Amino acid sequence: MIQNPILKGFNPDPSICRVGDDYYIATSTFEWFPGVQIHHSKDLKNWKVIAHPLNRLSQLDMKGVPDSCGVWAPCLSYKNGIFYLVYTNVKSFDGVWKDTPNYVVTAQDILGDWSDPVYLTSAGFDGSFFHDEDGKTWYTNMLVDHRKGKFFGGIELQEYDTEQQKLVGEIFYLTSGTDLGCTEGPHLYKRNDYYYLILAEGGTEYGHAETVMRSKKISGPYESHPENPILTARNTPEYELQKAGHASFIETQNGDWYVTFLVSRPLTEQGRCILGRETAIEEIIWKDDWPYLKSGSSLPRLEIPSPDLKEVFVEENPERENFDSDKLPIDFQTLRIPQSEEWISLTERPGFLRLKGKESLTSTHTQALVARRLQHFNVQITTSVYFEPTKFQHLAGLVLYYNTGHYHYFHVTKNKNEKILSIVSCCNYTIIEQKEIAVVTGIEEVLLRAEVNRDELQFSFSNNKKDFAVIGEKLDMSILSDDYVRDESERYRPAFTGCLIGLCCQDLATNSVHADFEWFEYRILDC
């Protein structure tokens, strides 16, 4: 059986692509660099991250972008030996105006190098390529309409000339969607005599759903599926998998059809989702030239039968990363900016990750922070840090991070003449500092630990590398979720990511003091 979700933790907006016997899923990364996660599988069950294609500034410049902006809804496709990756680099989303430039990059090898980007349009977002049987390539996107607070303006279609590398010809308006509204995430497919337009609707929260329309002409008119939405959990609030939608279809080499889509797993009924939006999979069958979930329901299942494909296992990531390579593990990303010797090094002190202190956790510009996704409800995260602060503006440690306004930070710093451990939490952009501290003056190596138990977080530390002492009170993990950030903000802010666990260093005085991390351990306490 395949257990859902297949991509755990912050991995939304899946775009699936098959080339021969290989399957690839691209997912959104928002403000995290490098951009787009590409996952690989041979059997649709066992997946592994293999690439981040947007890995240089010429492809992706995100310095200063707001939280949950950056890379949205990539679309991965393949035609005549070339991979195409369409993506949006959202620059602003607050208020009536949305700045949403869209680009495409190409590569002959999924592992890269990928080309510099070709600009497409800024008319909307969620851009997608469809390669038709006649050799034409078409581009669809949702249209942003700022007039009278409308926002969701429907779905547009235009041809993309692969030789001229630009959009050409007439722009066709395909649909304003169904009555569910908030129409976005368009993808086109062709089967038999019909073009199928699949749409993410109802918003990406608990009303999320996937709808289908079809037409015998690519430019329309499109008729609605008789049982829309074909995929949703909106009417089953007690179900474990929620927010189902933003889907893409794939046909296997055996002629079977599947759909990948995002889901979330709330801690309580329609509560907070600390793992963010994840990726799940379902089987598709066709009746009267319409797609349906094979289960006979619109509700995604927690497990589905494995396809008729040979199972190919992938190597699990080790619990402990010892930083003994000159490259970060692929499951670590940086915040908005690429790695640079200006702030990070894996070679200056061999066997250590060195972070050179930069700006605060509030900054959207230059932070010295590397992080990986939280992918399980119950985990123990531990790191070893060597850090000698000389003033209170020097901080380094372990952070559980959602965005610039929501995090829990356990760190080493300076207080008068003492080297101390301190905990600060940021909730709705307000800093809360715990009163309890621990003095570690004269201790060269300190182990910092975070234990997550669903909605609870407890920090502890060791100054002798074996005995751990609890520090501070239990903290609310659930503030590190889309749901909390959206619900509690004084004004609307986009919140589309998930919790990441990071190592960071700040020098708020001179941007120069460094911290050395010898290892990082992510231990799953349950599944």
The confidence score (pLDDT) of residue 491 equals 60
CB 384 within 8 A of CB 352: no
The confidence score (pLDDT) of residue 494 equals 86
Residue-wise DSSP of 353-379: EEEE-BS-TT-SS--EEEEEE---SEE
Q: What is the CATH number of domain 2-304?
A: 2.115.10.20
CB 111 within 8 A of CB 51: yes
Distance CA 273, CA 276 (A): 6
Distance CA 505, CA 343 (A): 9
The confidence score (pLDDT) of residue 278 equals 98
The confidence score (pLDDT) of residue 492 equals 66
148 DSSP assignment = G
- Of 402, 346, 360, which Cα lies nearest the Cα of 520? 346
270-283 per-residue burial string, b: 16 or more CB within 10 A, e: under 16 = bebbbbbbbbbbbb
Question: Taking the C-alpha atoms of 368, 373, 378 and 383 in order, what is their torsion angle to the nearest 10 degrees?
Answer: -30
pLDDT in tens, the chain (527 residues): 999 999 999 999 999 999 999 999 999 999 999 999 999 999 999 999 999 999 999 999 999 999 999 999 999 999 999 999 999 999 998 888 899 999 999 999 999 999 999 999 999 999 999 999 999 999 999 999 999 889 999 999 999 999 999 999 999 999 999 999 999 999 999 999 999 999 999 999 999 999 999 999 999 999 999 999 999 999 999 999 999 999 999 999 999 999 999 999 999 999 999 999 999 999 999 999 999 999 999 999 999 999 999 999 999 999 999 999 999 999 999 999 999 999 999 999 999 999 999 999 999 999 999 999 999 999 999 999 999 999 999 999 999 999 999 999 999 999 999 999 999 999 999 999 999 999 999 999 999 999 999 999 999 999 999 999 999 999 999 999 999 998 776 566 789 999 999 999 999 999 999 999 999 999 999 75
Length of the chain: 527
The confidence score (pLDDT) of residue 489 equals 62
Q: Which two tokens stand for residue 423?
A: 């905990």
Quickly count: other Cβ atoms within 10 Å of residue 300's Cβ. Answer: 27
Where are the chain's structural domains? 2-304, 320-524
In the block, tokens 């074996």 appear at 466
Give the residue numbers marked as catalytic.
13, 184
CB 208 within 8 A of CB 202: yes
Which residues lie across from 383 on neighbouring strands?
448, 520
In the block, tokens 């509030």 appear at 362
Quickly count: other Cβ atoms within 10 Å of residue 397's Cβ. Answer: 27
Distance CA 502, CA 478 (A): 17
- The CA-based diameter of the chain, rounded to the nearest angstrom, is 77
Give 78-83's long-range contacts (Cβ < 8 A, gap of 24+).
78/17, 78/18, 78/19, 78/131, 79/131, 79/137, 79/162, 81/108, 82/106, 82/107, 82/108, 83/17, 83/19, 83/107, 83/108, 83/109, 83/110
- Of 344, 352, 424, 345, which Cα lies nearest the Cα of 392? 424
Distance CA 12, CA 278 (A): 5
∠ CA 468-473-474, rounded to 5°: 90
CB 501 within 8 A of CB 522: yes
Query: Pairing mode, if any, of strands 344-345 and 303-304?
Result: unpaired
53 DSSP assignment = S
Q: What is the CATH number of domain 320-524?
A: 2.60.120.200
Query: Do 2-304 and 320-524 show the same overall fold?
Result: no
316 DSSP assignment = P
Q: Which two tokens stand for residue 145?
A: 């309409």
The confidence score (pLDDT) of residue 149 equals 85
